[in-house]
Amino acid sequence: MSSYLCAIGTANPTHVIPQPQIATFMAEALQLDDNEARKLRALYRVTGIGQRYSVLADYSRSNGEFDFFPNTPDLEPFPSVGQRMAVYRECALPLSVRAAQDCLRQVPEVTLASITHLITVSCTGMYAPGLDLELVQKLGLRPNVQRTCVNFMGCYAAFNALKLADAFCKADAGANVLIVSTELCTIHFQKNQEEDHLVSNALFGDGSAAALVRAVPAATGASLELAAFHCGIEPNGHADMAWHINDFGFEMTLSSYVPRLIQKGIRELTDGLLENLPVQLPDIQHFAIHPGGRKILETIEQELGLTTHDNRFAYQVLRDYGNMSSATVLFVLHELLQSLTAPDRDAPVLSFAFGPGLTLEAMLLKVAFGDN
């Protein structure tokens, strides 16, 4: 029995902020001198990001006009975890609802009453009763929908949600699984001049993606069969990508060594995925790679012999949205799905995502149409 990714919907906050404007905010917030500010702007220019979205308007404003951060030269008293979680509780639900509605309108044969499972994914906020229950009530899902939460796993967490959805559909051919991945990364800005924090502040944005997984393809348009999964761990990267809850928000560690660690593990990860499948790397026609950063994409291209055209959907998402943690790879898959036409039928698709641990996830999909 197979399962299919039938539709993906996306949503972003209303505040879209050009990358140079965010760099100006950061330079002022960190109280950098002219030389340090120049270096910071250079870092922002090489990210490959043109703009990012945030639930906070402050990143497009000057000190004295802030709504969330204090209007003081050093932003003190710096917002607490509680203040940041209050923003998450206020903003995560409407964003998630928009993504879910965008997803479900693409598959009119699936009604709200027919959704059997709801999987929520997030690492940027938690509360209880949580986003899962609020989504049930706001969307009008049936009260006995089976709810599962995938929390605090970082950028690869959507893969775990897809694995769960795959298992649910294989256990019940009538299952309709709605995945909602919502990340508000920008509420966790850290006022720290260490390199890891400077890099994190330059990459992350806010967004939500919703996906529908069923045991049959969508009636119209392209779907993606979930053909195989494989996971690897690079233990030497345990401290190079991490996510900790501290007094003033969630703190991301993102070392400059991460691309090097992925370079060491990506070929083994790919070989492990394809080892027992009738597909080899030269057979892969489409790629959906989590754009954790421009250097990560370039490293994978070098190791696997890919071109920037192969990686075009990842670069497009990175440019237009930045890294939205777990939602990002679903945005990439959304762009891929929109591009598929009848000649792509049965074409294999290779997808990767990476996160704390250092965890490396791989997935093989196959293009399908409703009349397969």
Question: For the segment 78-110, what is each residue's pLDDT rounded down to a tens digit?
Answer: 999 999 999 999 999 999 999 999 999 999 999
Query: Which residue(s) pair with 259 in the sheet?
Result: none
Q: Which of 179, 214, 249 is the last residue of a domain?
A: 214
Give pLDDT, residue 256: 61
Residue 74 has pLDDT above 70, yes or no: yes
> Once rounded to an integer, what is the mean pLDDT over residues 34-50?
95
Residue 6 has pLDDT above 80, yes or no: yes
Residues of 117-126 as b/e, b for ≥16 C-beta within 10 angstroms?
A: bbbbbbbbbb
Is pTM, for the whole model, over 0.85?
yes
User: What percent of the chain shows pLDDT beyond 70?
Assistant: 96
Residue 65 has pLDDT above 90, yes or no: yes
User: Closest Cα to residue 215, out of 157, 280, 171, 255?
Assistant: 171
282 and 152 within one domain:
no
Give pLDDT, residue 172: 96
Give pLDDT, residue 250: 78
- Weakest mean pLDDT among 36-40, 75-79, 368-372: 368-372
Supply 317's token pair.
């998402």
Give pLDDT, residue 196: 76
**Ramachandran sector of residue 232 (left: φ over 0; alpha: ψ -120 to 50; beta: rest):** beta
Classify residue 39: in a domain, yes or no. no
Q: Who has greater pLDDT, 68 or 354?
A: 68
237 and 174 within one domain:
no
> Once rounded to an integer, what is the mean pLDDT over residues 333-362?
94
Instruction: From the candidates 155, 169, 185, 231, give the one annotated as an active-site residue.
Output: 155
Classify residue 29: in a domain, yes or no. no
Residue 135 has pLDDT above 60, yes or no: yes
Classify residue 56: in a domain, yes or no. no
Give pLDDT, residue 102: 98
Pairing of strands 4-11, 222-233: antiparallel
225-278: per-residue pLDDT in tens? 999 999 988 877 655 566 677 877 777 666 565 777 788 789 999 999 999 899
Give pLDDT, residue 238: 57
Classify residue 44: in a domain, yes or no. no
Domain of residue 180, CATH code: 3.40.47.10
In whole numbers, what is the pLDDT of the chain averaged over residues?
93
329 and 228 within one domain:
yes
For residue 221, name the pLDDT band (cuts at 50, 70, 90). Answer: very high
Classify residue 117: in a domain, yes or no. yes
Contacts of 94 (CB under 8 A, 6+ apart): none
User: What percent of the chain shows pLDDT beyond 90?
Assistant: 82
184 and 232 within one domain:
no
324 and 241 within one domain:
yes
172-219: per-residue pLDDT in tens? 999 999 999 999 999 999 888 888 778 888 999 999 999 999 999 999
Classify residue 340: in a domain, yes or no. yes
Number of domains in the chain: 2
Residue 138 has pLDDT above 80, yes or no: yes
111 and 164 within one domain:
yes
Distance from CA of residue 274 to its chain's centroid? 24
118 and 182 within one domain:
yes
242 and 173 within one domain:
no
Give pLDDT, residue 259: 77
Range of the domain at 127: 3-13+89-188+203-214
Whole-angstrom Cα distance, residue 86 to residue 176?
32
Classify residue 337: in a domain, yes or no. yes
For the question of residue 123 being annotated catalytic, the response is no
Give pLDDT, residue 326: 96
Could you tell me if 93 and 135 are in contact, meaning their C-beta atoms sit under 8 angstroms apart?
Answer: yes
Classify residue 19: in a domain, yes or no. no
- Weakest mean pLDDT among 114-118, 134-138, 173-177, 294-298: 294-298
Supply 284's token pair.
């892969």
For residue 165, name the pLDDT band (cuts at 50, 70, 90). Answer: very high
User: Closest Cα to residue 296, out of 275, 317, 281, 278?
Assistant: 317
Give pLDDT, residue 89: 97
Give pLDDT, residue 253: 64
347 and 261 within one domain:
yes
284 and 166 within one domain:
no
343 and 248 within one domain:
yes
208 and 253 within one domain:
no
User: Closest Cα to residue 234, out of 356, 363, 364?
Assistant: 356
Give pLDDT, residue 50: 97
Give pLDDT, residue 98: 98
Give pLDDT, residue 171: 96
